[in-house]
Amino acid sequence: MKALFILNDPPYGTERSFNGLRLAKAVAGKGAEVTVFLMADAVACAKTGQKVPQGYYNLELMTKSILRTGEVLLCGTCLDARGIGDAELIEGARRSTMDELVERTLAADQLLVF
């Protein structure tokens, strides 16, 4: 099964991206082919060098865990609008396009939006 997760919310301030990544990791653990597409403020989930208080969840580490078995794509337009360059992204996450999101959406068996 192919599962596509689209995340829109920032990494911190709400728990929507946190919960989306938690579910994506759990689905991947059941053998599904998982793609996470980060849009809008969610692109910051894949920013390297996040420093959060001890005991607080770290979306950089959670995003890296998805990359062990799946892929993480980021909206290029959203990255540009936020001034985030490719060199600031965690290794393995990559810039993508709306065209690629359309392709992944049409190919997915399951689509979940957070």
**CATH no. for residue 71?**
3.40.1260.10
The tally of domains found in the chain comes to 1
Answer positive or negative: Cα dihedral of 71, 94, 78, 75.
negative
Domain span holding position 36: 2-113
Q: What does pTM read for this prediction?
A: 0.95
**CA–CA gap between residue 48 and residue 59 (Å, rounded):** 10
Helix (H) or strand (E) holding 77: helix 76-81
Q: In tens digits, what is the pLDDT along the chain, a chain of 114 residues?
A: 999 999 999 999 999 999 999 999 999 999 999 999 999 999 999 999 999 998 889 999 999 999 999 999 999 999 999 999 999 999 999 999 999 999 999 999 999 999
